[in-house]
Amino acid sequence: MENKLETINKLFEGKNIRTIWDKDKEEFYFSVVDIISVLTDSKNPRNYWNMLKKRMTEEEKSELYTNCVQSKMKAPDGKMRETDTLDTEGIFRLIQSVPSPKAEPLKLWLAKLGRERVDETLDPSLMIDRAVQLYRKKGHDDNWIEKRIKGILDRNKLTDVWKEGGITAPEEYAILTNEIYRQWSGFTAKQYKEYKNLKKESLRDNMSDIEITLTDLGEIATREIAKKRKPIGLNQNKDVAKKGGNIAKISREALEEELEEDVIKKPFLESKQI
């Protein structure tokens, strides 16, 4: 089942709701404790969920548990843990069991989310359009957005080459990505986020256009060198990643010499984030 699932994070009124999209069923599954947190503002939504289950009648439990599945999701400590999830129908049933002024807005949000996802499956360009509009709302100009979307495509091309070189585990992708980052920026991805005072936010969404360009250059160079040398396994691919990142480093140093300033900046859209 895991191979069919795509993990997504969705925001409702500024609160993160961990979400999984089942590609085969074309159905969302939502973290129950995250939904309860939104509905109740409880400091311990897991306890609330446990108490709610105790208060339910057998009929209510049967209706709710029919669609309840355990799914692995990233916990606040960064580890993947099993947690209760419900499909959209199950979440609607859950909302009926929790008295909350946010019930109706959440129902509307769920309905809109499901409709958007189905529409995007039929017409993928809608997903791109929605991403463009979201980036504009965050204050990014079209030049930045174009580079960001191109970077996503280039990143996918790189991971395809890594797969050909025997890279399959998520931690291996992370190691190779860190090698590229470390070479040109001096930071691992985690250190880079800490430098920018980021928590759950996307690192690349908080880069300047110069930073994005250097990141893309490091990844494109890594991809092209790998295509030429055909490394196999993690160690050989690490050597190539270092070489690709170093090419971006050379460009960074040349630009900084001309500008007489560091091109790695703190979040430049900090005041505009929504």
CB contact at 8 A, 233 and 165 = yes
User: pLDDT tens for residues 29-48?
Assistant: 889 999 999 899 888 998 99
Mean pLDDT (whole number) for 75-84 = 82
Res. 17: pLDDT tops 50? yes
User: Positive or negative CA dihedral for 83, 84, 88, 93?
Assistant: negative
| CA separation for the pair 170, 168 (Å, rounded) | 7
What SS3 class is residue 15? strand
What SS3 class is residue 102? coil
What SS3 class is residue 124? coil
C-alpha R_g of the chain: 22
Mean pLDDT (whole number) for 94-112 = 84
CB contact at 8 A, 233 and 241 = no
Q: Tell me, what's the pLDDT at 113? A: 74
- Least-confidence region, from 6-10, 21-25, 131-135, 208-212: 6-10
Res. 121: pLDDT tops 60? no
| HSE-CB of 176 using CA atoms within 13 angstroms | 32
Q: Tell me, what's the pLDDT at 72? A: 84
Put simply, whether the predicted model's pTM sits higher than 0.85 gets the answer no
Q: Tell me, what's the pLDDT at 270? A: 41
| CA separation for the pair 97, 68 (Å, rounded) | 15
Number of Cβ within a 10 Å radius of residue 2: 8
Tell me the domain boundaries of the chain: 2-122, 130-272
Q: Which residue has the higher pLDDT, 229 or 147?
A: 229
Q: Tell me, what's the pLDDT at 139? A: 86
Res. 117: pLDDT tops 70? no
Q: Tell me, what's the pLDDT at 250? A: 97
What SS3 class is residue 238? helix
Query: Which of 115, 96, 83, 89 is CA-nearest to residue 17?
Result: 83
Res. 98: pLDDT tops 70? yes
Res. 57: pLDDT tops 50? yes
| CA separation for the pair 222, 159 (Å, rounded) | 10
User: Positive or negative CA dihedral for 160, 166, 168, 172?
Assistant: negative
User: pLDDT tens for residues 236-253?
Assistant: 999 999 999 999 999 999
Length in residues, the chain: 274
Residue ranges of the alpha helices (H) in 123-141?
A: 125-137
CB contact at 8 A, 64 and 56 = yes
Res. 209: pLDDT tops 60? yes
- Average pLDDT over the chain reads 84
Q: Tell me, what's the pLDDT at 273? A: 38
Three-state SS string over 51-65 comes to HHHHHCCHHHHHHHH
User: pLDDT tens for residues 161-197?
Assistant: 999 999 988 899 999 999 999 999 999 999 999 999 8
Q: Which residue has the higher pLDDT, 118 or 102?
A: 102
Sheet of strand 68-74: strand arrangement:
5-12, 15-22, 27-31, 80-87, 68-74
